[in-house]
A = this chain, B = another copy of it.
């Protein structure tokens, strides 16, 4: 009868001072100290900040054992509802505004570059690579939409060979992964930008939809009296070596939830107007005349531009916070020198 959970970590030297009789007032410094033995300065710093904030949260709320257990159960349920096609912890991060905050910190945009938005929990890794001009939706109930897009750099030069990941819901406001009967990806694709930086595809007009409310995060929103809706939008993700990874979203102007997105993802620069396809365009692209037309030029920062801006912002922010820091791999750690 072998134990299924064994303990084989190497023993470390017993640290000083003794971890004994810890109190509300001294436990934090002791936990931080024993978490500072790694040679990874960034890990030590992340743990120091994490433990300090978690403990301060408990002290400032006088957190009860009952509330603590409710939190343990909430986190457990959030993990257990996750699957290959559902990511409830990302959803939690989204509705707490953390996802937008982290994107703003890690992917600052030089002037004129396309702003970022949330990845959300519905991106998958199985979207088909489709040739330019393909249809990425098979939903006949949706309103047809033609999307004519380009990718350019901050000097307005077209960028060829950018991998563009695109995903949206069907006309009922559900992603393919929300159907238990899903057999293959739909309403999602990957395209590669052409020599002139262009890519175009046939899709359906996005609709607003509520995020899933049958899990722990949806139930939390209910308790907080928050609505679960996102305004109509389409997700885009851009990747090419040398370019800063761009995760963004285009929102269709005039949506009821434009100013109350449950995941805080809307930026004015990402709200777009739709046109109608005229006769000439209809013939040229093989879509019905009168279909919706989305035109958009995405402007991507280079890795170097973003890194420069991120480093500058980080050092300025740390100084404003009164934290003496240096950057290692473009991320701050305490400067103890």
Contacts and interface: CB of A to CB of B under 8 A. Distances in A.
Interface stretch (A9-17, A125-133, A282-290): A9-17
Given A9-B213, A89-B75, A227-B9, A264 B27 contact: yes
A194 interface: no
Contacts of A261: 19
Interface in A16-61: 18-24, 27-28, 30-31, 34-35, 37-38, 40, 43, 45-47, 49-51, 53-61
B19 A178 contact: no
Contacts of A180: 2, 4
Interface in A198-231: 209-215, 218, 221-229
Chain copies in the assembled complex: 2
A195 interface: no
A54 B98 contact: yes
Interface stretch (A99-107, A144-152, A156-164, A292-300): A99-107
Interface residues of A, number: 122
Contact of A57 (B9, B15, B53, B213): B53
A183 to B, nearest CB: 10
Given A68-B93, A226-B34, A58 B218 contact: no
B62 A332 contact: yes
Given A27-B264, A55-B101, A60-B318, 14 more contacts: A2-B180, A3-B172, A9-B227, A31-B97, A50-B57, A53-B53, A53-B54, A59-B105, A62-B106, A63-B106, A65-B106, A75-B75, A75-B89, A80-B82
